[in-house]
A and B are shown apart, each in its own frame.
Chain A
Amino acid sequence: SYVLTQPPSVSVAPGQTARITCGGNNIGSKSVHWYQQKPGQAPVLVVYDDSDRPSGIPERFSGSNSGNTATLTISRVEAGDEADYYCQVWDSSSDHPYVFGTGTKVTVL
């Protein structure tokens, strides 16, 4: 089955840029979606189709995807961005096609 690998944690100072990677075999050929989950809350979609943002998501959140790595970038990080972030793809070749990454805890210093 398809595997998505994320770094367990990323630390960033307020106002700086956080980059969260999501690694998978030829992930650039798939569409990648990103979810933010704050403690005790449900996940929220922050980027879909590699780089599109749902309405209400700040422009500070952006995404890219190429080769074997997709990246979620959070610019001008704020304290409220502290959360777990998960990437997700649809693996059409599998009987269980919804695949989540391992998750990354973003800590704002």
Chain B
Amino acid sequence: EVQLLESGGGLVQPGGSLRLSCAASGFTFSSYAMSWVRQAPGKGLEWVSAISGSGGSTYYADSVKGRFTISRDNSKNTLYLQMNSLRAEDTAVYYCAKDFANCSGGSCHYYFDYWGQGTLVTVSS
């Protein structure tokens, strides 16, 4: 059974930092890309960042580029999101999600087949 368990959320002041973790189990972690998706209170889903299975490729939404860093430790089956220079608009529930790649004809597209329960990040003074 696939399980994704986020931790590390909490209250932080504007300009502060926080590191989120996502412990994965039930699948071969290193074989899959992983993502972080967030949801501000009362708002829709927003993709934040993704990382390839090896960790060699990373991708970011424009809203977090230069402030957030995604990484993974495949020996620990854990995904991370280092968040720096936090702003009020970063307040959200942060979900980690397992990516699934559907590839054919030399091209791939991705969706999220499993999600964690989320961890709340509140940026406020």
Contacts and interface: CB of A to CB of B under 8 A. Distances in A.
Given A42-B95, A86-B45, A98-B50, A48 B59 contact: no
Contacts of A42: 95, 115-118
Interface of A: 30-31, 33, 35, 37, 41-45, 48-49, 54, 84, 86, 88-90, 92, 95-103
Interface of B: 35, 37, 44-47, 50, 59-62, 95, 100, 102, 107-118
26 contacts: A35-B45, A35-B112, A37-B45, A42-B116, A43-B95, A45-B111, A48-B102, A48-B113, A54-B113, A90-B108, A90-B110, A90-B111, A92-B107, A92-B109, A96-B47, A96-B59, A96-B61, A96-B62, A98-B37, A98-B50, A98-B110, A99-B47, A100-B45, A100-B46, A100-B47, A103-B44
B45 A44 contact: no
Contacts of B107: 92
Given A86-B44, A95-B59, A43 B115 contact: yes
B116 A45 contact: no
A31 B102 CA distance: 10
B86 to A, nearest CB: 20
Contacts of A33: 111-112
A1 B113 CA distance: 24
Contacts of B108: 90
A98 B47 contact: yes
B109 to A, nearest CB: 4
Nearest to B114: A45
Contacts of B113: 45, 48, 54
Given A41-B117, A97-B110, 6 more contacts: A43-B112, A43-B115, A44-B115, A45-B112, A92-B109, A96-B60
**Which of the listed residues A44, A54, A96, A98 has the most CB atoms from chain B within 10 Å of its own CB?**
A98
A23 B36 CA distance: 24
Contact of B109 (A30, A95, A102): A30
A12 B48 CA distance: 33
